[in-house]
Each structure stands twice: as structure tokens, then as C-alpha cells.
């Protein structure tokens, strides 16, 4: 079982969607509120600093049966409070939905679903994050490689919760909360502009072969943090942390 698990390559990724059209974004207005339809990393500074937004609402939408653990959501909020200046607080806004599709999703379908159901958007002083926990699987999953999460656009990520549950909590598999927390924090890290994705690097730690990931092996933003997940299972379960270079990048872009 362990071998089987280790052979399966768990992927955490991000995808650029073309940013907003001019129609979406009011032009020539004083201090316009940034749209939620921009590209991954575009709102990094807005998450990190409180210059534009002092509070954050996380709209958590899950397909019935695939609710993330409350502990994992609390861990994400704690990660956000550790790195981001949000003195007005971070609030969870949570609800379930019926299965929205055929269970085999590409990013265009995910984005279409978001446009149908998203209810929280940036408003004056409050930034909105859309986090969807979905049934089914990523359309390119194979027996040896599955996608657990994708950050897309500037304030959105999707977690393939059915897949994540399939690979956690059995006797030889990682702890569910450790795995969820790792994936949620990693995807949120991309929205914070890591690595070199809207947050400038203060030192060169970009993994050039694996796009916008950190080259420090045990960093949360390493492309193989899934290796940490499986090791975590054996050692009792530690969520990978950001290394000092990733933290320095965030601090230089207004974060803690
Ligand atoms: Zn990633
Ligand atoms: Zn790093």
C-alpha cells in the first residue's frame, strides 16, 4: 500500500486564466476595487497588506459529501493570520452545493461553476477568497498522477476533495488534516504570489523546471510537498512550512 501510494504523484498546481476584459473592470473610477477576475498572483499584495483591504472573507463552497475538516479550515485561517495583515479579521462563509458537473473537470468548467455560484466579491475594505471543494477529479488524472488542488485567477482555488479523501486516512496513508492543511496552504501560497508569481523574489529560489515553485526541498512551496505528506504519515504528521526565502518575499510585498 505504501509503495502504491508513493508511486502516485500528487500534484498541487496553479493555472493562469486570461485576466478580466475591460468590460469587467470599471475604468477611470477613483480607487477602483480590484476585480475578482484577474490572474493568479495579481492580488498578492492585497492579501498581504491591509492598505486596500483590512479584512477577508473566505467563501467555502463544498459539494455535498466532500466537506473539508473544520480543523483544516482553521489551520488555513491561522496561516493567513500569520502572513497577512488583516486586522479586521478573517471570516469563513460556508455552504454546500449539489454536484455541479459530471465529475471530470478542466479549469474552464471550474471557472464556469465559480461564475454561477460565487456570492462573495471584493468590496470596500474587505477582500473575498473563493475556495471550492469538489467531487470527482481533474480531467488529466491518471493512475500514477492526480491533482489535489489548483489555484486559478487572483482570488480562487479549487480542491479536489474526493481525490484528497481517497488518498488520506487509510492505515498506510497520510492524516487527513495534515494533507488538507498542506494542500490548502500551498494553493493559498500561490495566491500570495509565490514563487515569483506576483510577489518579487528577494533572492533566487525559483525552481525553474517546475514553474513558480520554491527550490528548497522541505518548503511548503516546493512542487514535491506531497513527498512531505507521505513522510508526515510515518513521522506523525507535520505540515511543511514556508522557508525563510519565501517568507522574505512575502514580507517585502507587504506581508508579515
Ligand atoms: Zn504549486
Ligand atoms: Zn520556499
DSSP annotation string for 26-58: --S-SSPPPPSSS-TTTTHHHHH-SSSEEEEEE
pLDDT value of position 90 = 98
What's the gap in Å between 242 CA and the centre of ligand 2? 5
> How far is 144 from 123, CA to CA, in rounded Å?
42
Give every CB contact of residue 236 below 8 A, 6+ residues apart in sequence: none
Counting ligands in written order, the one closest to the CA of 10 is 1
pLDDT value of position 121 = 98
What's the gap in Å between 182 CA and the centre of ligand 2? 14
pLDDT value of position 144 = 77
pLDDT value of position 226 = 54
What's the gap in Å between 238 CA and the centre of ligand 2? 16
CB-CB neighbours of 9 under 10 Å: 13
What's the gap in Å between 13 CA and the centre of ligand 1? 4
Give the strand pairing for 89-97 and 9-15: unpaired
Per-residue pLDDT of the chain (256 residues; tens, 9 = 90+): 233 343 455 666 667 665 554 445 555 555 689 999 999 999 999 999 999 999 999 999 999 999 999 999 999 999 999 999 999 999 999 999 999 988 999 999 999 999 999 999 999 999 999 999 999 999 998 887 888 899 999 999 999 999 999 888 777 777 889 889 999 999 999 999 999 999 999 999 999 988 899 999 889 999 876 544 544 444 456 889 999 999 999 999 999 9
> How far is 234 from 78, CA to CA, in rounded Å?
25
DSSP string for residues in 104-169: EE-HHHHHHHHHHH-----BTEEEEEEEEE-SSEETT--SSEEEEEEEETTTEEEE-HHHHHHTSS
The per-residue b/e assignment along 162-183, b for 16 or more CB within 10 angstroms, e otherwise, is bbbbebbeeeebbbbbbbbbbb
Counting ligands in written order, the one closest to the CA of 217 is 2
pLDDT value of position 126 = 98
What's the gap in Å between 69 CA and the centre of ligand 2? 26
What's the gap in Å between 40 CA and the centre of ligand 1? 11
**Residue 29 exposed, middle or buried by CB count within 10 Å (0-12, 13-18, 19+):** exposed
What's the gap in Å between 214 CA and the centre of ligand 1? 9
- This prediction has a pTM of 0.90
Give the strand pairing for 104-105 and 137-138: parallel
How is domain 2-18+34-252 classified at the architecture level of CATH?
3-Layer(aba) Sandwich (3.40)
Amino acid at each position: 500500500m505504501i509503495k502504491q501510494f508513493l508511486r502516485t504523484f500528487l500534484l498541487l498546481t496553479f493555472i493562469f486564466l486570461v485576466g478580466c476584459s475591460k468590460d469587467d473592470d470599471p475604468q477611470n473610477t477613483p480607487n477602483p476595487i480590484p476585480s475578482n477576475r484577474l490572474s493568479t498572483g495579481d492580488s498578492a499584495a492585497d492579501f498581504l497588506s491591509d492598505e486596500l483591504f483590512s479584512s477577508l472573507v473566505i467563501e467555502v463552497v463544498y459539494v455535498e459529501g466532500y466537506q473539508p475538516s473544520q480543523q483544516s479550515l482553521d489551520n488555513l485561517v491561522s496561516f493567513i493570520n500569520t502572513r497577512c495583515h488583516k486586522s479586521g479579521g478573517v471570516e469563513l462563509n460556508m455552504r454546500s452545493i449539489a454536484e455541479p458537473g459530471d465529475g471530470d473537470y478542466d479549469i474552464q468548467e471550474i471557472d464556469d461553476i465559480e461564475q454561477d455560484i460565487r456570492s462573495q466579491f471584493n468590496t470596500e475594505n474587505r477582500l473575498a477568497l473563493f475556495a471550492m471543494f469538489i467531487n470527482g477529479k481533474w480531467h488529466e488524472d491518471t493512475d500514477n498522477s492526480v491533482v489535489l488542488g489548483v489555484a486559478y485567477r487572483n482570488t480562487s482555488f479549487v480542491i479536489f476533495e474526493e481525490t484528497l479523501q481517497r488518498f488520506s486516512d487509510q492505515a498506510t496513508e497520510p492524516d487527513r488534516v495534515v494533507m488538507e492543511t498542506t494542500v490548502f496552504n500551498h494553493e493559498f501560497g500561490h495566491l500570495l504570489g509565490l514563487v515569483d508569481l506576483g510577489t518579487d523574489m528577494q533572492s533566487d529560489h525559483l525552481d525553474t523546471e517546475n514553474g513558480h515553485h520554491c527550490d528548497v526541498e522541505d518548503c511548503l512551496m516546493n512542487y514535491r510537498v506531497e513527498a512531505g505528506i507521505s513522510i508526515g504519515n510515518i513521522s506523525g504528521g507535520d505540515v511543511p512550512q514556508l522557508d525563510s526565502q519565501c517568507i522574505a518575499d512575502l514580507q517585502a510585498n507587504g506581508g508579515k
